[in-house]
């Protein structure tokens, strides 16, 4: 299942959420900060154990934030490393690494990049954002013919995983919702994220009370994996001010992957 493995790794291995568009882009050009934080802070690390369907352990996902540079060149780099291990690696030898770079202190997404390998299949691409021109440049190093300029829709884009992680700062109550603009590979997804349920999640770090958030394409026709019937859920703990994203789930028609938090390093 290379497509599913790659999609799951990508979804849970990068990352922020979206907000307000031409006005936001204009604000960005002036150096104004967007309304929302990035979702992770310098030194913060989240490590997840991944299961696929009935297979209890197939690998790990590690998401880490570190600040680079200073002054006007300061950025926050979010690095996501994904790999299969154990018996599952003999069947699905997947390795992936993604980076999302955010300008500080504004929190604007500057670029994203992804590399992954599954057997003899490799993915290597990147996206750079030009807010002044309202366009993004998608570069595919493996298939150069797919390299192209992409018009940016209204909103401030964010990587999907960080979009989900960033919801930890929203403090959504059951029944509440917010909109977001997410980029996944070379497509933008205008999403509506709703707080649809509450649940207790048991992890090796303890038992957490959570709110369950579900992103969907409600305001435009579904595209990409949303069009194919895939769904995404994230469980945000509500016990304390950390609001840890303790679980993610990505469900495809042929199965579902679940990532549960097993290790956490607080910010510096």
Predicted model pTM: 0.83
pLDDT value at residue 116: 92
At 146, phi and psi to the nearest 5?
-85, -10
Give the distance from CA 244 to its chain's centroid: 14
What distance in Å separates the CA atoms of residue 164 and residue 181, rounded to the nearest whole number?
11
Q: What is the DSSP string of the chain?
A: -HHHHHHHHHHTS--------HHHHHHHHTTPPPSS--S--TT-EEEEEEEETTEEEEEEEEEEEEEE--GGG-EEEEEEEEEE-THHHHH--EEEEEEEEEETTT--EEEEEEEEEETTEEEEEEEEEETTTTEEEEEESS-GGG-EEEE--SS--EEHHHHHHHGGGT-PPTT-EEEEEEEETTEEEEEEEEEEEEEEEEETTEEEEEEEEEEE--SS---HHHHTT-EEEEEEE-SSTT--EEEEEEEETTEEEEEEEEEEE---
Which pLDDT tens digits describe the chain residue by residue (268 residues)?
Answer: 334 444 444 433 332 222 222 222 223 333 333 445 688 999 999 999 998 888 889 899 999 999 999 998 999 999 999 999 988 888 889 999 999 999 998 888 999 999 999 888 899 999 999 999 999 999 999 999 999 999 988 888 887 777 778 888 888 899 999 888 888 778 888 888 999 999 999 999 999 999 999 988 888 887 766 766 678 899 999 999 999 999 998 887 777 889 999 999 999 9
């Amino acid at each position: 299942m290379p497509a599913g493995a790659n999609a799951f790794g990508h979804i849970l291995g990068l990352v922020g959420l979206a907000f307000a568009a031409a006005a936001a882009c204009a604000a960005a050009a002036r150096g104004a900060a967007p309304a929302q934080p990035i979702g992770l802070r310098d030194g913060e690390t989240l490590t997840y154990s991944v299961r696929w369907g009935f297979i209890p352990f197939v690998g790990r996902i590690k998401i880490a934030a570190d600040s680079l540079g200073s002054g006007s060149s300061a950025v926050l780099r979010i690095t996501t490393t994904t790999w299969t291990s154990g018996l599952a690696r003999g069947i699905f030898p997947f390795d992936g690494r993604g980076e999302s770079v955010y300008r500080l202190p504004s929190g604007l997404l500057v670029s994203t990049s992804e590399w992954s390998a599954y057997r003899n299949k490799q993915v290597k691409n990147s996206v750079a954002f030009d807010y002044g021109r309202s366009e993004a440049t998608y570069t595919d190093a493996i298939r150069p013919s797919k390299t192209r300029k992409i018009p940016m829709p209204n909103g401030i884009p964010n990587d999907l995983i960080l979009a989900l992680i960033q919801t930890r700062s929203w403090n959504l109550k059951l029944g509440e919702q917010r909109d977001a603009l997410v980029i996944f590979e070379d497509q933008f997804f205008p999403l509506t994220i709703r707080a649809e349920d509450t649940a207790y999640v048991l992890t090796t770090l303890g038992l957490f009370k959570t709110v369950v958030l579900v992103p969907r394409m409600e305001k435009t026709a579904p595209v990409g994996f949303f069009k194919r019937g895939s769904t995404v859920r994230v469980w945000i703990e509500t016990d304390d001010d950390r609001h840890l994203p303790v679980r993610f789930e990505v469900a495809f028609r042929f199965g579902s992957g679940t990532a549960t938090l097993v290790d956490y390093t607080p910010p510096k």
